[in-house]
Amino acid sequence: MADTGIFATTAQVQAKAGANASTTYNAESYINQFMTEAESLINCVTCYNWSDAYTTLNVDVQGILKLAASNWAAILVLNADPTGMSAREYETRLDVLTMGFNKAIQQLKEVSVKTFMKAPTSP
């Protein structure tokens, strides 16, 4: 099976989910599903189809999308089965991932940033 996500890879999501994440849900088949859900959520929340424009975006914009999508997918991995970690570890990971996701979404929704990000790359 291969990565089917546009914004981030399985390895990037696994790194964010970290040690003690469920081996069942931290596998490529589930992560591909979680990535599709994350990408759709990002597109809907920001009212822009970043998936269709992805290859035309500069690396900074792609990095913000990667941050948002990998964080959200890692949240879904952890939420699917949190039994491998303590409550404190689970809550801390969710807090860090949620903060990163929210910050990325805030930037993607900002009109001035969105205008900058959708502008053609200068030579």
The pTM for the full model equals: 0.89
Are the C-beta atoms of 70 and 13 separated by less than 8 Å?
A: yes
Distance from C-alpha of 56 to C-alpha of 36, rounded to nearest angstrom: 19
pLDDT (tens digit, 9 = 90+) per residue, 68-114? 999 999 999 999 999 999 999 999 999 999 999 999 999 998 877 76
Q: Where are the domains positioned within the chain?
A: 10-118
- Residue closest to 38 by CA, chosen among 68, 17, 61: 68
